[in-house]
Structure 1
């Protein structure tokens, strides 16, 4: 685990924890998944990474969530929801680049 990456994720995560789920994302879905659920799954994976224990399963889940959230970003106006999703994607990208790939993924 890279200390620089871990530090950046920790800072972004601390910022994220202080935010309420944006009103402009309530009821929004991407690929049939509610954004609120993708947020919750991503949160569990970030928590695992920050705690030093990102499992292979969490890495796969995070990769799936990041892909869906990346697809959502261009559809969002540059407002509260856009920044919220962009932060989730940034954390996921940092974690995925810092975590070993699961064989076969």
Structure 2
């Protein structure tokens, strides 16, 4: 199963790269979280995880931001596209964390 994670993450990343950032979320900050920063930070960590093990700082950011995004997802259900977009981002982040943890085992 662990061998499939890099391929699965690469596929999810390719899909994500075709999506546009939800236009209504450039200014919207559910629970006080800047969604542009959320997107940038998590996507950066996912990209780094695809290239190899994460350093401590990126690993901490990945885990912390993934947890925050998980809490925010129910708050953005009123926008179907944004919900899909950020759910996809969350799924990639979770998979990136699993892949990174498996490298340390």
TM-score of the two chains, using structure 2 as the length reference: 0.84
Checking the alignment, whether the CA contact within 8 Å between 1:29 and 1:35 is kept in structure 2 is yes
- Residue deviations 1:50-73 (CA, integer Å, cap 9, x gap): 112422211110111111111111
The answer to whether residue 34 in structure 2 is matched with residue 8 in structure 1 is no
* Deviation, structure 1 residue 20: 1.3
> Aligned-pair RMSD on alpha carbons?
1.7
* Deviation, structure 1 residue 42: 0.6
The answer to whether residue 92 in structure 2 is matched with residue 80 in structure 1 is no
Instruction: Give distance in 1, aligned partners of 2:56 and 2:15.
Output: 26
Instruction: Give distance in 1, aligned partners of 2:32 and 2:50.
Output: 29
- Residue deviations 1:24-73 (CA, integer Å, cap 9, x gap): 32212244330110100011101111112422211110111111111111
Tell me the equivalent position of 2:94.
93
Checking the alignment, whether the CA contact within 8 Å between 1:30 and 1:68 is kept in structure 2 is no
Taking structure 1 as reference, are residues 64 and 31 closer, same or farther at Cα in structure 2, changes over 3 Å only?
Answer: farther
Q: How many residues align?
A: 100
Tell me the equivalent position of 2:35.
35
Q: Which moved more, 1:27-36 or 1:59-68?
A: 27-36
* Deviation, structure 1 residue 76: 1.5
Instruction: Give distance in 1, aligned partners of 2:68 and 2:27.
Output: 15
Mark the runs of 5 or more structure 2 residues left unpaired by the alignment: none
